[in-house]
């Protein structure tokens, strides 16, 4: 009886210590993990941080000392580069053009691609493999290979230099990759969901809109980001089909500035920062769609 009473606290005390030691051990075990992530983050961030800091320095300072010298005063931060960039004719209107090109082009191609991807994933038809082989092949066709025939096509239809031309061209170029990626994603969705929906009498449009599309949201969300960025950052397509048209986007104007300036390009750090600001905001905004387990509940539900 007395033994029981005395052993109880003795048994409990070491276990509490052991628990604490174990918790510490787990934390210590995770140190390499945190270290690896932090080092990787630093290496990946430094180039961009350097650019952003340089964009707030005078061109003269950039030539005299590295960006890291601003960690200590005198820092000499200035908005001179931004004033210089935004003061250039065409810059502000080209930023507007970039938005007007990017948003519709993204919506058009993703809507069309999702539909086609569903057909390739869940319908069997003669020639499906052949069509898919063509799509996989088209994904890798260099855009340069299509430029001259398409340019002739735009000239013949009166679309050359118009914003519609770039929407259509971007959609055409982007579709193969999107259909390929979305088809693989939609095709890996659990078959039972679609079969039980079919048994319940749901047609293809219902299965597509109510099942396939909602379950593909993680893929569509990440794809939207990349399509948006691809069009936003595109140079070749806009340069070819818009040239010096007033509809030309920011990237084309920056490139024209770089080539026309030759030396003294350092103030374009500000243009580079402005160019990457919007895509980054979009990425952060869409982060919330990267939610774990969007599909995990769908079989049960």
Partner 1 sequence: MDRVITAGVAVVGVPVVLLGYLLLGERILERLPGRLQSWFRPYFWALPAISFATIFMVYPTINTAILSFYSRDSTEFVGFANYKYFFTFPDTLLSLRNSLFWLVFFTVFSVGLGLIVAILVDRVGYESIAKIAIFLPVPISAVAASIIWKFMFDYQPPGAVQTGTLNATLGTVGFQPVAWLSNKATNNAALIFVGIWSFTGFCMVIISASLKAISSEVLEAARMDGASEVRIVRLIVTPLLWPTITVVGTTAIITALKVFDIVYVLTAGAYDTSVIAVQMFSQLTSGGHFGRAAAVGVILFLAIVPLLVVNVRRFQQQEEMR
Show contacts with partner 1 in window 42-81 (CB under 8 A): 44-48, 50-51, 54, 62-68
CB 62 within 8 A of CB 77: no
Among the listed residues 5, 125, 260, 263, the single contact to partner 1 using CB under 8 A: 125
Give the 3-state secondary structure percentages of the chain, helix then strand then coil, rounded to 5.
Answer: 80, 0, 20
Do residues 139 and 80 lie in contact, with contact meaning Cβ atoms separated by under 8 Å?
no
Question: Does residue number 227 form part of the binding site for partner 1 (CB under 8 A)?
Answer: no
**Neighbouring C-beta atoms of residue 301, cutoff 10 Å:** 6
Q: Of 217, 218, 196, which is closest to residue 206 (Cα–Cα)?
A: 196
Q: Rounded distance, CA 206 to CA 210, Å?
A: 5
Select the span of 7-15, 70-78, 80-88, 167-175 touching partner 1 (CB under 8 A).
Answer: 167-175
Q: Which is nearer to partner 1, 95 or 171 (CB)?
A: 171
Residue 119 as a binder of partner 1 (CB under 8 A): the answer is: yes
Q: Which stretch binds partner 1 (CB under 8 A): 14-22, 73-81, 83-91, 215-223?
A: 215-223
Interface pick for partner 1 out of 59, 115, 160, 197 (rule CB under 8 A): 115
Q: Which is nearer to partner 1, 78 or 112 (CB)?
A: 112
User: Among 59, 80, 86, 100, which residue sits at the site for partner 1 (rule: CB under 8 A)?
Assistant: 100
Q: Structure tokens of 42?
A: 């630093």
Task: Give min distance, CB of 17 to partner 1, in A.
Answer: 22
Residue 161 is a binding residue for partner 1 (CB under 8 A): no
Token digits of residue 262: 């030759």
CA distances from 12 to 17, 22, 105, 126 (A): 9, 15, 66, 71
Return phi, psi of residue 84, to 5°.
-65, -45
The verdict on 159 binding partner 1 (CB under 8 A) reads: no
Tokens at residue 112, please?
Answer: 């069309």
Q: Minimum CB separation from partner 1 for residue 160, in Å?
A: 15
Q: Which one of 20, 88, 133, 155 is in contact with partner 1 (CB under 8 A)?
A: 133
Q: Does the protein bind partner 1 through residue 225 (CB under 8 A)?
A: yes
The residue written with tokens 């539909």 in the block is 115
Stretch 193-212 residues interacting with partner 1 (CB under 8 A): 203-205, 208
């Amino acid at each position: 009886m007395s033994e029981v009473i005395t052993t109880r606290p003795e048994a409990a005390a070491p276990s509490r210590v052991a628990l604490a030691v174990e918790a510490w051990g787990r934390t210590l075990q995770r140190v390499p993990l945190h270290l690896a992530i932090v080092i990787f983050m630093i290496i990946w961030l430094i180039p961009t941080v350097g650019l952003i800091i340089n964009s707030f320095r005078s061109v003269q300072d950039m030539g005299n000392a590295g960006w890291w010298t601003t960690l200590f005063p005198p820092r000499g931060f200035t908005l001179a580069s931004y004033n210089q960039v935004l003061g250039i004719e065409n810059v502000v209107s080209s930023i507007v053009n970039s938005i007007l090109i990017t948003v519709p082009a993204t919506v058009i191609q993703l809507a069309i691609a999702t539909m086609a991807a569903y057909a390739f994933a869940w319908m069997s038809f003669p020639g499906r493999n052949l069509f898919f082989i063509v799509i996989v092949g088209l994904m890798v066709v260099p855009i340069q290979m299509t430029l001259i025939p398409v340019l002739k096509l735009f000239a013949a239809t009166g679309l050359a230099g118009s914003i519609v031309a770039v929407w259509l061209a971007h959609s055409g170029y982007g579709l193969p990759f999107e259909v390929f990626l979305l088809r693989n994603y939609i095709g890996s969705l659990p078959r039972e969901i679609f079969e039980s929906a079919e048994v319940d009498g749901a047609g293809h449009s219902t299965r597509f809109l109510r099942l396939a599309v909602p379950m593909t949201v993680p893929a569509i969300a990440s794809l939207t980001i990349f399509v948006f960025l691809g069009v936003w950052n595109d140079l070749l397509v806009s340069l070819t089909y818009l040239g010096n048209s007033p509809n030309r986007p920011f990237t084309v104007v920056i490139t024209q500035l770089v080539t026309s300036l030759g030396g003294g390009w350092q103030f374009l750090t500000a243009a580079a920062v402005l160019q990457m600001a919007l895509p980054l905001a979009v990425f952060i905004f869409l982060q919330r769609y990267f939610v774990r387990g969007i599909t995990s509940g769908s079989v049960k539900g």
